[in-house]
Amino acid sequence: MGRIPAEAVIPFLVAMMLASGVANTLLTKYQDMQCVLNCDDPDPKKRSHFEQPVMQTLQMFVGESGCWLVVGTYSLVRRIKQRRAGYSAVPDSEASTGDSSPTLTPETPIAKALSIKSADNRIPLTGRKIFLLAIPACCDIMGTTLMMVGFLFVAASIYQMTRGALVLFVGLFSVVFLKRKLFAYQWFSLVVVVLGVAIVGLSSVLFPDHLAVPGSGKGATDKTSITMAFHTSMRSAVRVAKQAKSPEAIRSIIGVVLIAAAQVFTATQFVVEEYILERYALEPIKVVGWEGVFGFSVTLVVMIVMHLLVGRTPEGEGGYFNAVAAWNQVIGFRPVLVSSILIMISIGGFNFFGLSVTRTVSATSRSTIDTCRTLFIWLASLGLGWETFKWLQVLGFALLVYGTFLFNNIIRPPIKRWAQTAIEEPAQIEEPTNS
């Protein structure tokens, strides 16, 4: 069978990356909006909605662990093809390029996500060294959980745009810890990104969307009590929001701050991953799979421990760490269950197709595509009536796009001397592999 040209597959990969990425964010917001208690009460403020960010973190790692299904299927199909051709199976790291199958040759875009780059002199990441990936997985846990909490208080587009602060923290951490050099135009682009995030946050404060916070009256958050400093401060912030003269605006501030703070952990995850993978070799999709396994294991253990310590107490009833309540809400309400399954599928698909795009085209292309994802999420949220249009948000989004594109050398710097530097030594930051 003839080989399918890479040019014919790339549009499909890009479309699937966009579709799965947009679906993941919208499904997560849809899940947050589902009523799970007092749903028949005529007073909307007495209804409680699905507010389980820890459970949502767990389901994200289940989706990432699903990458092993792709790895297993790929390996199984290749072995079957090799047996039919009369060859014995060979390990992934020693696979040759002789198979002419349109989906199994390492030259095809999908196969590139399942292989290590040729002429790679790094040490294979095997044995106990695999546990190094538990470090970025733990950073992912903190970052994702903070983002899920912040997502409860803001619209989907505000959530996605605020995540643009990631470029700032990854750039700074790369300079401090990886000893990378940023040029003047890149520092300028980071300032533009910060300004864009600030304007997006300001738009959510000046023009708060009550539609984005369906559980603004009474939810699980005001029942949660925990001795840990992290959750105590979170609980205090929520209490302040509920007692404020303009609670919607305060909730927007809390949401934006939490999402922006989460980018510190995500940036740490990126830098640690880059540090590890500069020294050890492992297929990109297996990196995601292992982080999914470690993240799921750690999150599950923490959920059980916190349920025993906090969730069973009267103050913790129905809160973030009541694992039994979270599980009952997932399996007891069909929309929550269906959205959970779809979220796990979409995050797995987004990781796989994103890695395929990165290995086939470039990380810069992936960054550009992910910016388009933000636009589609915004348009979909407006179309679904989940938020209202704000001109100030348009300005913030434009600055985010400009700063990100400038940093990744997609557009030319505004100063001629900067432009020459960009041509001589380009630099870029890859987008996150998770939601």
Look at residue 124 and give its three-state secondary structure: strand
Q: Which residues partner with 281 through β-bridges?
A: 124
Distance CA 145, CA 151 (A): 10
CB atoms within 10 A of CB 157: 30
**Alpha carbons within 13 A on the beta-carbon side of 226:** 24
Distance CA 28, CA 49 (A): 13
Check the CA dihedral 120-126-129-135 and report its sign. Answer: positive
pLDDT at 326: 93
Asked which of 98-102, 167-171, 181-185, 284-288 is least confident by mean pLDDT, the reply is 98-102
Query: For the segment 42-88, what is each residue's pLDDT rounded down to a tens digit?
Result: 888 788 899 999 999 999 999 999 989 988 988 898 888 888 876 55
Asked which of 1-10, 29-38, 363-372, 405-414 is least confident by mean pLDDT, the reply is 1-10
- Indicate whether 130 pLDDT > 80: yes
Query: For the segment 201-227, what is each residue's pLDDT rounded down to a tens digit?
Result: 888 888 877 666 665 444 434 333 333
- Which amino acid makes up residue 149? V
Q: How high is the mean pLDDT of the chain?
A: 79
User: Residue length, the chain?
Assistant: 435
φ, ψ at 49 (rounded to 5°) = -110, 170
